[in-house]
Amino acid sequence: MTTLLMRVIPLPLRSAQRAKYVFERNVMVYRRGWMVIFSGIFEPLFYLFSIGVGLGGYIGDVTGPGGELVSYTAFVAPALLASSAMNGAVFESTMNIFFKMKYQKTYDAMLSTPIGVPDIAVGEISWSLVRGALYAASFMIVMAGLGYVESWWGLLAVPAAVLIGFAFGAVGMACSTFMRSWQDFDYVTVVTLPLFLFSATFYPLSVYPPVVQQLTRFSPLYHSVELIRALTFGVFDWSLVGHIAVLIGMGALGTMVVGRRLHRLLLT
């Protein structure tokens, strides 16, 4: 009967079913360590209240999407939402993946079952995506409660955060397959901190010097911030297609690298 079912069920569907077990394992592990996930919600809230609310009282209004003047706090909040999705996905897909792969040998045990390398990649990236989405959804609730969501289109910011989690989670997991020791994770901070500070997160892109503006446009977090910011203000133009395309391409590339690297590390 099992053999017959394996022939009838398409291969992609069977792979998705196996990846589900990898995802469920993470859910069971964090069921007893939920404070680890919950604590990640506070960092963007601290930034919102300290910089957005505190500093915003001195800055006043700034130019938002569409060229209209908006309060500084309303301008910063969507950027912190995008940053929250990025951080949740990156840190889940780097340090935790490295520990499972190098020390806990979790994936070696999984490969002794019908689960394969593609299933591990899809399951782990899916969990990174969901963790980033949890951060984003929690932050979105706070934003809405404080009145910083200017349009009902802002509800789409949560699915957009899922896309951000996919992009950064896939690339983060791909990078973790190249890590040799814990010291290598300093490079993660070296990359994510400048992205956080210089992706039009706290100031409009127009205030940057021309050279910095061009460099900022290559930042994946910049595309994430612009996407979330446009949705929360209900401003739509063709640039959104470009932002979405960058994030999808980033996630697809990261997933492809993860599959090849894990195959090389675990099966050769």
Domain spans, the chain: 18-267
The two tokens of residue 19 are 């990846």
Share of residues in the chain with pLDDT > 90 (%): 10
Partners of 224 in the β-ladder: none
- Lowest average pLDDT, out of 16-30, 159-173, 220-234, goes to 16-30
Partners of 63 in the β-ladder: 69
User: What local confidence, expressed as pLDDT, does residue 56 receive?
Assistant: 67
Residues 6+ apart with CB under 8 A from 124: 22, 26, 93, 97, 173
User: What local confidence, expressed as pLDDT, does residue 1 receive?
Assistant: 35
Model-level pTM? 0.83
The two tokens of residue 208 are 């940057």
**Do 179 and 185 meet the contact criterion of CB atoms below 8 Å apart?**
yes
Band (36; pLDDT cuts 50, 70, 90): low
Share of residues in the chain with pLDDT > 70 (%): 87
User: What local confidence, expressed as pLDDT, does residue 3 receive?
Assistant: 37
pLDDT averaged over the chain? 80
- With 0-12 CB in 10 A as exposed, 13-18 as middle and 19+ as buried, what is 65? buried
- With 0-12 CB in 10 A as exposed, 13-18 as middle and 19+ as buried, what is 190? exposed
218, 246, 219, 95: which is closest to 160 by C-alpha? 246
Query: How far is Cα of residue 105 from the mean position of the Cα atoms in its chain?
Result: 25
Q: Which residue has the higher pLDDT, 170 or 58?
A: 170
Is the pLDDT reported for residue 71 higher than 50? Answer: yes
Average pLDDT of span 93-106: 83
Is the pLDDT reported for residue 103 higher than 80? Answer: yes
C-alpha 123/C-alpha 22 separation (Å) is 5
Q: Which long-range contacts (CB under 8 A, 24 or more apart) does 215-221 make?
A: 219/195, 220/167, 220/168, 220/171, 220/195, 220/246, 220/247, 220/250, 221/82, 221/83, 221/86, 221/195, 221/196
User: What local confidence, expressed as pLDDT, does residue 246 receive?
Assistant: 94
Band (12; pLDDT cuts 50, 70, 90): very low
The two tokens of residue 167 are 């992009």
Q: What is the pLDDT of residues 126-148, one digit of tens each?
A: 887 777 777 777 788 877 777 77
**Do 85 and 224 meet the contact criterion of CB atoms below 8 Å apart?**
yes
Is the pLDDT reported for residue 4 higher than 70? Answer: no
Is the pLDDT reported for residue 2 higher than 60? Answer: no
C-alpha 250/C-alpha 246 separation (Å) is 6
Is the pLDDT reported for residue 67 higher than 60? Answer: yes
Is the pLDDT reported for residue 8 higher than 60? Answer: no
